[in-house]
């Protein structure tokens, strides 16, 4: 069997902006999901995971949609990708899939998109060589939206396919959808004796639950109230005229977060000391906590402890409602140990911590 891999991601800044046609700035992680795949001579699609016990999930290709609700939730990600290739008319036969993931699950680091993108790249190479990267992003995103039922934007899939080692990916979601190209911005923290620390609180999030969908619907309602296609087009003064206080808070986050992405991207592009972006990271967390209301006590505590331990900036990362925080810290500062100890003293489970290193996007391994 041949093997393909797709990475998880950390979003430096730009949370809940992708489905509002805004700006994002992710890096790919060295942690990947691998997919081993081999075509079959029949029409059966099988998928097994090295992280799950039990027999392989087996579904005839022609029944992927009909049997969606009968398969385990984790298997819907790879099966949804195969179903989407078939729906688009690609000549997909049966296939054996085996997935093996090193991206922490439920940590807000895009483990689900890494799984979908690894399978999508494998399916492209096996069955549909003509499919380009843009369509692969769309296939993986559509599969997660429709087959799995997670109303995500395109941030995670775009990061998985477009990120490059040593760089942050500046993506204007609207411009990319219209044919524009993303920008690769050098992101070498080691040169400045810095690290981007990931703090996995161990409180998993679930994007298929209702709160994420509610935030997306609230953003759409706010844009509609302003007479705009998306909140990407909103100005701060217009947001202040929204009469519904909840919609005003949601819109204020999106508008201010887009501004923060542009500011951070400009500073990094100009070669500024990355310490200068720290206040924007912290401002992002405050906005996500107060205006978008997607943080948790564990995430808030992790951010506070990181800042008290000397971090230049910190924020929750991902969709929220659990998962991870990131902190921009000096190398060898002992911040990770201090945070783990302090969280334990406050009654939280000891978090998993690691350093995020900008890594390559999805690729064939062998």
The residue behind tokens 């398969």 is 71
Q: Is the torsion defined by CA of 234, 236, 238, 242 positive or negative?
A: positive
Q: Which residues pair with 56 in a beta bridge?
A: none
Each residue's pLDDT tens digit, 132-190: 999 999 999 999 999 999 999 999 999 999 999 999 999 999 999 999 999 999 999 99
Kindly report the CATH class assigned to 188-355.
alpha beta
Please give the CATH architecture assigned to the domain spanning 2-184.
Answer: 2-Layer Sandwich (3.30)
Section 54-67 average pLDDT: 95
The residue behind tokens 């939206």 is 145
Tokens of 268: 């990094």
Q: For the chain, what are the domain ranges?
A: 2-184, 188-355
Position 110 scores a pLDDT of 95
Tokens of 273: 């000391």
**Gap between the Cα atoms of 327 and 274, Å rounded:** 12
Each residue's pLDDT tens digit, 251-304: 999 999 999 999 999 999 999 999 999 999 999 999 999 999 999 999 999 999
Tell me how far CA of residue 132 lies from CA of 128, 202, 262, 361, in angstroms. Answer: 9, 36, 28, 15
Query: Which region among 132-141, 209-218, 320-329 has the lowest average model confidence (pLDDT)?
Result: 209-218
**Contacting residues for 28 by C-beta, under 8 A, at least 6 apart:** 7, 8, 9, 159, 160, 163, 164, 165, 169, 358, 359, 360, 361
Query: 3-state class of 330 per DSSP?
Result: strand
Tokens of 148: 């799995």
Please give the positions annotated as active site. 156
**Gap between the Cα atoms of 255 and 354, Å rounded:** 31
Position 64 scores a pLDDT of 96
**Gap between the Cα atoms of 284 and 178, Å rounded:** 27
Position 208 scores a pLDDT of 54
The pairing of strands 95-101 and 44-49 is parallel
Position 334 scores a pLDDT of 84
Section 59-64 average pLDDT: 96
CB 107, CB 200: distance < 8 Å: yes
Position 349 scores a pLDDT of 86
Tokens of 337: 């140990």
The full DSSP string for 277-306 is GHHHHHHHHHHHHHTS----HHHHHHHHHH
Q: Where residue 209 falls among pLDDT bands split at 50, 70, 90?
A: low
**Contacting residues for 243 by C-beta, under 8 A, at least 6 apart:** none
Position 147 scores a pLDDT of 96
């Amino acid at each position: 069997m041949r093997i393909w891999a797709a990475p998880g991601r950390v979003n430096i800044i730009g949370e809940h902006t992708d489905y509002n046609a805004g700006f994002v700035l992710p890096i790919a992680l060295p942690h990947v999901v691998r997919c081993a795949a081999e075509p079959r001579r029949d029409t059966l699609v099988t998928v097994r995971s090295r992280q799950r016990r039990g027999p392989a999930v087996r579904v005839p290709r022609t029944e992927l949609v009909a049997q969606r609700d009968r398969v385990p939730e984790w298997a819907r990600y790879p099966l949804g990708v195969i179903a989407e290739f078939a729906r688009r008319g690609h000549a997909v036969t049966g296939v054996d899939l085996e997935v093996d993931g090193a991206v922490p699950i439920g940590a807000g680091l895009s483990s689900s998109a890494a799984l979908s993108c690894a399978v999508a790249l494998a399916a492209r190479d096996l069955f549909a060589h003509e499919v380009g990267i843009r369509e692969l992003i769309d296939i993986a995103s559509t599969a997660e939206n429709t087959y799995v039922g997670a109303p995500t934007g395109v941030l995670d899939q775009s990061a998985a396919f477009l990120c490059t080692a040593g760089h942050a990916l500046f993506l204007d979601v609207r411009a990319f959808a219209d044919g524009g190209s993303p920008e690769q911005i050098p992101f070498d923290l080691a040169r400045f004796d810095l690290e981007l620390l990931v703090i996995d609180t161990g409180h998993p999030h679930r994007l298929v639950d209702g709160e994420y969908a509610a935030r997306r619907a609230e953003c759409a309602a706010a844009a509609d109230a302003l007479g705009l296609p998306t909140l990407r087009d909103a100005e701060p003064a217009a947001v202040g005229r929204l009469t519904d206080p909840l919609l005003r808070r949601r819109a204020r986050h999106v508008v201010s977060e887009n501004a923060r992405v542009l500011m951070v991207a400009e500073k990094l592009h100009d070669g500024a000391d990355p310490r200068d972006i720290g206040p924007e990271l912290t401002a992002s967390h405050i906005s996500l906590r107060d205006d978008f209301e997607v943080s948790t006590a564990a995430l808030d505590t992790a951010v506070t402890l990181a800042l008290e331990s000397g971090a230049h900036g910190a924020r929750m990362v991902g969709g929220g409602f659990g998962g991870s925080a990131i902190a921009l810290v000096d190398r060898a500062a002992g911040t990770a140990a201090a945070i783990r100890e302090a969280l334990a003293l406050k009654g939280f489970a000891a978090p998993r911590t690691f350093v995020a290193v900008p890594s390559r996007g999805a690729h064939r391994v062998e």
